[in-house]
Amino acid sequence: MRKFLIKEDIKIFGQIVLKKDQTISVDSEYTIQSESFDISMTIDQILKDSRFEEIQIPELNINVSELVDEQEEEEKLYRIQLDVKTNRRKLRDIENFLRKTLESMI
Protein backbone atom coordinates (compact mmCIF):
# COMPACT_ATOMS: atom_id res chain seq x y z
CA MET A 1 0.00 0.00 0.00
CA ARG A 2 1.42 3.37 -1.05
CA LYS A 3 0.19 6.73 0.19
CA PHE A 4 -0.12 9.91 -1.88
CA LEU A 5 -0.75 13.57 -1.03
CA ILE A 6 -2.96 15.58 -3.39
CA LYS A 7 -1.01 18.77 -4.22
CA GLU A 8 -3.92 20.67 -5.85
CA ASP A 9 -7.66 20.24 -6.28
CA ILE A 10 -8.44 17.70 -9.00
CA LYS A 11 -11.49 18.57 -11.06
CA ILE A 12 -13.27 16.43 -13.59
CA PHE A 13 -16.01 18.05 -15.67
CA GLY A 14 -15.87 21.07 -13.34
CA GLN A 15 -16.50 18.98 -10.22
CA ILE A 16 -13.81 18.68 -7.52
CA VAL A 17 -13.25 14.96 -6.96
CA LEU A 18 -10.06 15.15 -4.85
CA LYS A 19 -9.20 18.13 -2.65
CA LYS A 20 -5.79 19.68 -2.02
CA ASP A 21 -3.95 18.24 1.04
CA GLN A 22 -6.14 15.10 0.99
CA THR A 23 -4.28 11.79 1.15
CA ILE A 24 -5.15 8.57 -0.63
CA SER A 25 -3.87 5.01 -0.23
CA VAL A 26 -3.24 3.02 -3.40
CA ASP A 27 -2.40 -0.64 -4.01
CA SER A 28 -2.28 -1.08 -7.78
CA GLU A 29 -5.28 1.04 -8.74
CA TYR A 30 -7.33 3.85 -7.21
CA THR A 31 -10.97 4.58 -8.09
CA ILE A 32 -12.21 8.15 -7.77
CA GLN A 33 -15.89 7.90 -6.91
CA SER A 34 -18.24 10.73 -7.75
CA GLU A 35 -22.00 11.20 -7.75
CA SER A 36 -22.37 10.70 -11.48
CA PHE A 37 -19.25 8.71 -12.49
CA ASP A 38 -16.26 6.67 -11.30
CA ILE A 39 -12.73 6.95 -12.70
CA SER A 40 -9.97 4.39 -12.10
CA MET A 41 -6.28 5.30 -12.16
CA THR A 42 -3.41 2.83 -12.10
CA ILE A 43 -0.40 3.35 -9.84
CA ASP A 44 1.68 4.20 -12.94
CA GLN A 45 -0.73 6.98 -13.94
CA ILE A 46 -0.67 8.39 -10.40
CA LEU A 47 3.15 8.33 -10.30
CA LYS A 48 3.34 10.25 -13.61
CA ASP A 49 0.77 12.88 -12.55
CA SER A 50 2.42 15.92 -10.93
CA ARG A 51 -0.73 16.59 -8.84
CA PHE A 52 0.13 13.55 -6.69
CA GLU A 53 3.11 13.37 -4.33
CA GLU A 54 4.08 10.07 -2.78
CA ILE A 55 4.40 10.14 1.00
CA GLN A 56 7.06 7.96 2.52
CA ILE A 57 5.58 6.02 5.41
CA PRO A 58 8.20 5.50 8.12
CA GLU A 59 8.71 2.02 9.46
CA LEU A 60 7.39 1.42 12.93
CA ASN A 61 9.61 -0.50 15.28
CA ILE A 62 7.55 -2.25 17.90
CA ASN A 63 9.17 -4.51 20.45
CA VAL A 64 6.99 -7.14 22.04
CA SER A 65 8.06 -9.32 24.93
CA GLU A 66 6.17 -12.08 26.64
CA LEU A 67 4.96 -11.43 30.19
CA VAL A 68 4.00 -13.93 32.81
CA ASP A 69 0.34 -13.85 33.85
CA GLU A 70 1.00 -12.01 37.13
CA GLN A 71 2.83 -9.21 35.34
CA GLU A 72 0.21 -8.94 32.65
CA GLU A 73 -2.60 -8.15 35.13
CA GLU A 74 -0.54 -5.82 37.32
CA GLU A 75 -1.60 -2.17 37.01
CA LYS A 76 1.14 0.43 36.91
CA LEU A 77 1.63 3.87 35.48
CA TYR A 78 3.00 3.64 31.93
CA ARG A 79 4.18 6.29 29.51
CA ILE A 80 3.57 6.00 25.79
CA GLN A 81 5.55 8.35 23.58
CA LEU A 82 4.97 8.87 19.88
CA ASP A 83 7.15 11.03 17.65
CA VAL A 84 5.51 12.14 14.41
CA LYS A 85 6.53 14.53 11.67
CA THR A 86 3.36 16.42 10.71
CA ASN A 87 1.70 19.83 10.85
CA ARG A 88 -0.26 21.26 13.80
CA ARG A 89 -3.69 20.59 12.27
CA LYS A 90 -2.93 16.93 11.68
CA LEU A 91 -1.29 16.67 15.11
CA ARG A 92 -4.55 17.78 16.75
CA ASP A 93 -6.42 15.17 14.70
CA ILE A 94 -3.98 12.47 15.84
CA GLU A 95 -4.25 13.61 19.46
CA ASN A 96 -8.07 13.57 19.37
CA PHE A 97 -8.11 10.11 17.79
CA LEU A 98 -5.71 8.73 20.40
CA ARG A 99 -7.65 10.29 23.28
CA LYS A 100 -10.97 8.82 22.09
CA THR A 101 -9.44 5.41 21.43
CA LEU A 102 -7.56 5.26 24.72
CA GLU A 103 -10.57 6.44 26.75
CA SER A 104 -12.64 3.58 25.38
CA MET A 105 -9.85 1.05 26.07
CA ILE A 106 -8.96 2.12 29.62
Tens of pLDDT, residue by residue, the chain (106 residues)? 788 999 999 888 888 888 999 999 888 889 888 777 788 889 899 899 999 999 887 776 777 776 677 777 777 787 777 887 888 888 888 888 888 888 887 7
Each domain of the chain, given as residue ranges in start order, spans 2-55, 71-105
CA torsion sign for 43, 48, 49, 51 is: positive
Q: What is the dihedral of CA 93, 19, 40, 48, to 10 degrees?
A: -100
Entry pTM: 0.53
